[in-house]
Amino acid sequence: GAVVSQHPSWVICKSGTSVKIECRSLDFQATTMFWYRQFPKQSLMLMATSNEGSKATYEQGVEKDKFLINHASLTLSTLTVTSAHPEDSSFYICSASNRAGLGEAFFGQGTRLTVV
């Protein structure tokens, strides 16, 4: 199946700094990428959906100025957590789909963010 690579897997940062998480589709062109946040022992919460070359669509309650999403190419999307605070600590997962994927999304391995 298609491969989505997410980097880094783990990151620890200080409060007030910004962290960038990358999501790459390695062997297909991702027309749409999704960013999720997952709290311990809970399901995935969709944060935003991005289509290549256009602005991301954020879910209600997600601060777009805090969680900056860029989808500049068909193989790369980035999520930047700006001015991170301890409450931003979470597991972030990206997924990518293309129209040839029959509605399937392929997931990255996730990024564990800890803000200290």
Partner 1 sequence: AQSVTQLGSHVSVSEGALVLLRCNYSSSVPPYLFWYVQYPNQGLQLLLKYTSAATLVKGINGFEAEFKKSETSFHLTKPSAHMSDAAEYFCAVSDQTGNQFYFGTGTSLTVIP
Q: Which of 13, 46, 74, 76 binds partner 1 (CB under 8 A)?
A: 46
Q: Is the separation of the CB atoms in 48 and 38 below 8 Å? A: no
- Residue 70 found at the interface with partner 1 (CB under 8 A): no
Compute the distance between CA of residue 106 and CA of residue 114 in angstroms, rounded to an integer.
24
In angstroms, what CA-CA distances link 2 with 24, 25, 97, 98, 101? 11, 8, 9, 10, 9
Q: Which of 49, 70, 80, 82 binds partner 1 (CB under 8 A)?
A: 49
How many other CB atoms sit within 10 Å of the CB of residue 57? 13
Q: For the segment 5-44, give every residue that binds partner 1 (CB under 8 A).
A: 6, 31-32, 34, 41-44
Q: How many residues bind partner 1 (CB under 8 A)?
A: 28
Question: Scanning the structure block, which residue is given the tokens 């990518």?
Answer: 96
Q: Which is nearer to partner 1, 19 or 108 (CB)?
A: 108
Binding site for partner 1 (CB under 8 A): 1, 6, 31-32, 34, 41-44, 46, 49, 91, 93, 95, 97-99, 101-110, 112
